[in-house]
Structure 1
Amino acid sequence: MSIDNLKESLQKLHATLESGAPVDPEIKALLQTLDADIQKVLANNADATLAPPAEEASSDLVNQAQKISARLAVRHPHLEPVFRDIADMLTKMGI
């Protein structure tokens, strides 16, 4: 999995959020927070002078993504497949 694939999946999630059924504010806020956290990690990884993300930070992102995925499966099943792909990519990339 590459960072480009992850960015593409994040863009797909954004497009799905904008074009699909309304998403409750709690889920939307969680997704925005996770997106911001992922963007920070990607920006840090793009800077060769910075170390890779700490294992704890990576684990937090994966746990956060898995919790959101479970909520999406119940409340917004149309978003869950796209988001599951993002969670899987984070795990495979060690982010």
Structure 2
Amino acid sequence: MSIDNLKESLQKLHVTLENGAPVDPETRALLQTLDADIQRVLSNNDVALASTAVEVTNDEPSSDLVKQAQKISARLAVRHPHLEPVFRDIADMLTKMGI
């Protein structure tokens, strides 16, 4: 999993948010917070992640970002199904990258 793929998926999420059905303010705020957190991690670890992206096994604890992404994904599946597939991809990428 590459950082470029994650950035591309984040961009796709932004486009989907702008062009899709309206999203409630609470969900939009959660998405913006997660996006900012992911951007911060990527800017801090860009080089390290690009060269050492590893798959996370099921016995390793999930990071706070992954937990946050999974929580939002479940919420989107119910309230905003048009966003859920894009967001699920992002959550999966975070898990596989070990972020």
Q: Structure 1 length as normaliser, TM-score?
A: 0.88
Aligned residue runs from structure 1 range 50-89, under 5 A: 59-89=63-93
Identity of aligned residues (%): 90
Computed over aligned residues only, the root mean square deviation of the Cα atoms, in angstroms, reads 1.5
Question: Shift in Å at residue 46 of structure 1?
Answer: 2.3
Q: In structure 2, what is the equivalent of residue 6 of structure 1? A: 6
Q: In structure 2, what is the equivalent of residue 55 of structure 1? A: none
> What letter matches 1:74 in structure 2?
V
Residue correspondences, number: 87
Q: Do the aligned partners of residues 6 and 71 (structure 1) sit closer, same or farther apart at CA in structure 2, a change above 3 Å counting?
A: same
Q: Does 1:16 align with 2:23?
A: no
> What letter matches 1:35 in structure 2?
D
Whole-Å Cα distance in 1 between the matches of residues 74 and 27 of structure 2? Answer: 11
Q: Structure 2 length as normaliser, TM-score?
A: 0.84
Which runs of no fewer than 5 residues in structure 2 stay unpaired? 53-61
Question: Shift in Å at residue 47 of structure 1?
Answer: 5.6
> What letter matches 1:8 in structure 2?
E
Structure 1 residue ranges, 4+ long, deviating more than 4 angstroms after superposition: none
Q: Does 1:26 align with 2:30?
A: no
Which runs of no fewer than 5 residues in structure 1 stay unpaired? 53-57
